[in-house]
A and B are shown apart, each in its own frame.
Chain A
Amino acid sequence: MLNLLIIGAGPAGLKAAIAAAEQGLNVKVIDEFPKVGGRLLGQLHQEPNGEWWNGMEMGEKLHQKAIRAGVDIQCEVSVVDISQSVSGWTVYTSQGMIEARKLLLATGATETPIPIPGWTLPGVMSIGAAQVMGNVHRVKPGNTCVIIGANVLSMAIANELRLCGIKVKEIVLPAVGPISKDAGIPEKVLASLMKLTHLAPTVILRQAGKLGKFINPSFAIKYFPRRGIKLFGIPIRLKTAAVEIMGEDHVTGVQTVTISSDGKVIPGSEKVTEADFVCIAGGLAPMSELASIVGCSFKYVQELGGHVPVHNERMQTNVPNLFVAGNITGVESAKVAMAQGKVAGLAIASEWKGKRQEIELALTTAMEEVRKTRAEALIQFQPGISEARDTVYHQFTLDELRMKQEVSVS
């Protein structure tokens, strides 16, 4: 039987596999995608120091290192169910059943859509789907596009699409409403961009971040030009909102309106921007389905993207022999996911070997590394992540105490 099964061959899963295998554990990694690397595969952006972050190369590096460490990796295997057995875990997949003593869920994050009329037309896709088509499969999703949703992710991917030879006509906001919420209010969008961009991947975003220290966003948005500002030649129009995606059997364009700083529609401002595909960037949420099935308790933390399985800094959940790492614990950058993966791998190895001092020491260093990586993160999807993480760890301690009490009472 396997010592450790890891679900998800993204940066978190691969790093964990390497760390655990290097400690002598017998490790297998499975993933439903045909290629190893998870979300790394699509990533390509420039860092403030001018270096490019090439996710595909990083994924390949980790893949090779895992193989050298003796990890067995299998792709195109979907996990559909998990149950606890006497000796550990039984994992049911599209390719049969796998048994393991310890289990690590590193399933990443999923995108959340912003439904608007016409979003079910062929040619409408999530921003991540466009990234995968262009950067992973090397297929142009179309020639001209409009992106709905202005956030760090959509801006980074807009530039990647441009590099694929696609004309990104504009980045606009979703119309204000119960689903888009703050993502539809120009003032709020600018505020969040300003807060997040102190280390942003582009000059303009960094400038906005610097300004944000001195200028109140509600003041700045008044001076934000109606026609938008340009980033790599792509207009970012925070005062334009998409109300409907047009087309009969395929996208032909997007109907937009001009909006005020608080999202109100300016009458008579309707316009159609032609495009042959449309990307919706609604944000990311931790993919917690498997954690839910095995009975983890959850905490809803908006800064982390939604419901996350309660865990401690060792990446241990409150279900014995079950660990989590990467974006399933909260949406953050690939570098943080890698650092968390290493922690999980070492924590599992330490448990396996009876908390030997040298592994515990390495684990402490690895936990330190997570905090450092987080503080220096180039891409932060939300402000206030460190504080949000502390509330999750605190919940873990509370749950643990409660469980101990229940055991002593019964």
Chain B
Amino acid sequence: MSDEKTIICRCEEVSLKTINDTVYQYSCSSREVKLRTRAGMGYCGGRTCRHVIDTIVADLNQKVITDDIQLSYRPPVRPITFGALGGVYHENESC
């Protein structure tokens, strides 16, 4: 009922229902949920929803969360401009 209305990943607008359905259909890990639904792959890089996705998926699969981080962190860990990424500020240039 309300699962459709419960947004889990705000950046990519993925609902709880979509995540539930994906796990039921593919009995998959949170990493696979991410790849299939884009949950956690938006602008914020999963900073808001990653723990929630892990919790939901572990619960549906009736598994405990493992020591290994499922939803891997990838640089850049903050949204930054292409300029900064490309080294505009490198070599201690003043900005």
Chain A residues within CB distance 8 Å of chain B: 32, 78-82, 92, 94-97, 110, 112-120, 178-179, 181, 243-244, 285, 288-290, 292-293, 297-300, 306-307
Residue pair B93, A113 in contact (C-beta under 8 Å): no
Q: How far is the CA of A293 from the CA of B77 in the complex (A)?
A: 9
| Residue in B closest to A310 when the chains form the complex, CB atoms | B67
Q: CB of B92 within 8 A of chain A? A: yes
Residue pair A96, B52 in contact (C-beta under 8 Å): no
| Residue in A closest to B89 when the chains form the complex, CB atoms | A96
Min CB gap B46→A, angstroms:
9
What is the predominant secondary structure among interface residues of chain A facing chain B? mixed
What is the predominant secondary structure among interface residues of chain B facing chain A? loop
Q: Which of B4-34 contact A (CB under 8 A)?
A: 5-8, 10, 16
- The 7 A-B pairs with the shortest beta carbon distances in the complex, nearest first, are A96-B89, A81-B75, A80-B76, A117-B5, A178-B59, A292-B73, A78-B78
Residue pair B92, A96 in contact (C-beta under 8 Å): yes
Min CB gap A312→B, angstroms:
17
Q: How far is the CA of A180 from the CA of B58 in the complex (A)?
A: 13
Residue pair A115, B2 in contact (C-beta under 8 Å): no
Q: Which residues on the B side are within 8 Å of A289 (C-beta)?
A: 47, 73, 77
Q: How far is the CA of A97 from the CA of B88 in the complex (A)?
A: 10
Q: How many residues of B contact A (CB 8 A)?
A: 39
Q: CB of B35 within 8 A of chain A? A: no
Residue pair A94, B80 in contact (C-beta under 8 Å): yes
Residue pair A97, B2 in contact (C-beta under 8 Å): no
Given contacts A80-B75, A115-B6, A178-B59, contact A300 B67 (CB under 8 A): yes
Q: How far is the CA of A246 from the CA of B76 in the complex (A)?
A: 36
Q: Which of B57-85 contact A (CB under 8 A)?
A: 59-60, 64-69, 72-78, 80, 84-85
Q: 18 pairs across A/B with beta carbons < 8 Å?
A: A32-B78, A81-B75, A81-B76, A95-B95, A96-B93, A96-B95, A97-B90, A113-B52, A115-B7, A115-B16, A119-B6, A179-B16, A179-B55, A244-B2, A285-B51, A289-B73, A293-B75, A307-B67
Min CB gap B80→A, angstroms:
5
Q: How far is the CA of A244 from the CA of B74 in the complex (A)?
A: 34
Residue pair A120, B10 in contact (C-beta under 8 Å): yes
Q: How far is the CA of A161 from the CA of B35 in the complex (A)?
A: 40
Given contacts A96-B92, A115-B7, contact A110 B76 (CB under 8 A): no
Q: CB of B41 within 8 A of chain A? A: no
Given contacts A96-B89, A96-B90, A285-B51, contact A298 B78 (CB under 8 A): no
Given contacts A178-B60, A292-B69, contact A243 B52 (CB under 8 A): no
Min CB gap B89→A, angstroms:
3
Q: Which residues on the B side are within 8 Å of A116 (C-beta)?
A: 2, 6
Residue pair A300, B49 in contact (C-beta under 8 Å): no
| Residue in A closest to B75 when the chains form the complex, CB atoms | A81
Q: Which residues on the B side are within 8 Å of A79 (C-beta)?
A: 77-78
Which of B49, B65, B76 has most A Cβ within 10 Å? B76
Min CB gap B32→A, angstroms:
18
Q: How far is the CA of A237 from the CA of B2 in the complex (A)?
A: 23
Min CB gap A90→B, angstroms:
10
Min CB gap A53→B, angstroms:
28
Residue pair B95, A110 in contact (C-beta under 8 Å): no
Q: How far is the CA of A276 from the CA of B62 in the complex (A)?
A: 38
Given contacts A113-B49, A115-B7, A120-B7, contact A97 B80 (CB under 8 A): no
Q: How far is the CA of A297 from the CA of B10 in the complex (A)?
A: 29
Residue pair A80, B77 in contact (C-beta under 8 Å): yes
Residue pair A78, B66 in contact (C-beta under 8 Å): no
Residue pair B80, A78 in contact (C-beta under 8 Å): yes
Q: How far is the CA of A32 from the CA of B76 in the complex (A)?
A: 14
Residue pair B2, A95 in contact (C-beta under 8 Å): no
Residue pair B52, A292 in contact (C-beta under 8 Å): no
